[in-house]
Structure 1
């Protein structure tokens, strides 16, 4: 059965998603177009037969948010993120021949602007940002007035807005500006996210989650600490897991050797799938126990499948010196480590991609986004092919350019779960 996705947006953006959807056999798109974002609430009421709601406009999502929260509707909005800011800066310097300075910008979250300015080492003293994501209601007139005031005071030469209605207002006033274009990659990622959430929601009634939690190096701890200390450690861990299990409707069983197993269903699944980047449970345990802990989550359509995958995820944790957390789903895809952000230098990487690997700007931005999404984990050509939806041959051509430019290096091999030749693994050469 196809996943039905309701798409809310202006005509040109929504049709871009529709074109992408025609290449996907497992989804069906229903377009709800508007001329003004405040029409979204009425349109949401009409999308009653859809599995998930996708918003291409941050303003439209904010208008509909109260209704979405009230009815607990599954919804996704296209990211207005650092990549979008970076793309807008690129267009500013190349299409408009302007320097990235004396600007005013409006965006849902100003942290994305700060990230890009920091990475590009740009002075932000003459760049002004209006963040409307936390406003009780979004007033396009007020946002336009913010830009106009800065223009009249002679503090800015150009406006970058993420809202079409604001762009129309400032243009009528003769203020130089431009509306940011949502990168195609952001649209595709939003569609994939919507599809993933809808798939989980449709199957969560039968999906089982098993998790093994274990104090790392338990034998070493026992040899160095007394029995009272170990019992206290075990009790602390049990209390934390009991509290966690009550939040996610899971069951906890204490095993031997400082190990616990948890069993849950959709509430536990909802929690872990929303915490890939910042898995608070692992941090809470390690801070309370002052010792590293491993957590392995397994997803499955049967208890045995979930248990086997959880054990495999826990075994993966053994290969790391510090406490870690991994997930292995019913297809035996590995996700993780959770909550561990691996840093890299996007600016240095961008320069290497352009000057050493000889990639164009779009491919360079895409690759930076790929590294960020994968949390700077080792990757194979198959990972690139899967992520971008290209052929393996096309991905291998990109890999060759990256290796030749000394941007990445081979660090080993991985063995697929099914029979086949080992695949080379690569990582950034930073």
Structure 2
């Protein structure tokens, strides 16, 4: 399966990448998300359909979207500007327009890039008119300020050309008939960053699929309580009773657990009438995961709280206690955005919420009706009806078939295609 990367950038940037870079990529699908102003890039985050990574065209749209990106469960990267982009752009201006660097106004991420190329190239007449936006992000940034910077220098006869890192500034200068150019993003840098996004996506999937063991100590009278069973179900795990009184082990995977940690359901489990202690362990093997879970449980038992949990990962790193105070709130069924999307997809808000949580818990994008029905605790036929409805309205698609190695027809494999984050 190809790695799917959401590419957030301007119209021209996305057009360039699709025409010049995408045909040279193997095993990577770039899905364009286009903004007209980098300050509005954050509004694209809720529209992103399931993907494996998100890549911004530069630091500017990324910094405007940084807070919104906390809702994403996939790796997030941005194309970093460096000295190579600046040198390539200045050489292009010199070669094609015969304009020297000292007659060019420049806006870029960091003025330090200019200092570096001055040192490396021993420029006698380096660029004099440079404005960066590193210090103004994110709250003091203004597109008009940068456009005016270039415009005044040109009109005062101090410069003959403008080099901008901001596509919307280029559009304004072009409308004013001021000679200008967008900063060149070298193809090699683009290819390297896209491949880095793919590597991080694959690494994230491997980590999410790592074995996890959970050691829980809870009062005996709660063992049949639906709270424990519900926790096991949300983890997509298997519950095993240990010999010790009130001690249980749940086997699951890292991705399912980490997606559960910030939810209201996880928080409520630690608000039972009796104390609940838990240790989460990740490992490359089941034995390592169990050992780390025991270690985490020992920290929970020593912590000054009646109910809490700790995590020890495969590198023996400890985190906790959980649940923390900054827990994510469960998306309410009456949230306007949820109601609007549910109406569009022709699903009940409750079912839509469950499907979204199911999908976020998974390490891979594809799934079967049987897996969905098991998670939602509905019949296979009901799950198939929901999926047919999603396929019919274009919100899901069938990506293949899974052989069951038994009698009966192959099972369809699905992928969702509606906004998930």
TM-score (norm 1): 0.45
Greater relative contact order (Cα 8 A, min sep 6): structure 1 or 2? 2
TM-score (norm 2): 0.45
Greater C-alpha Rg = 2
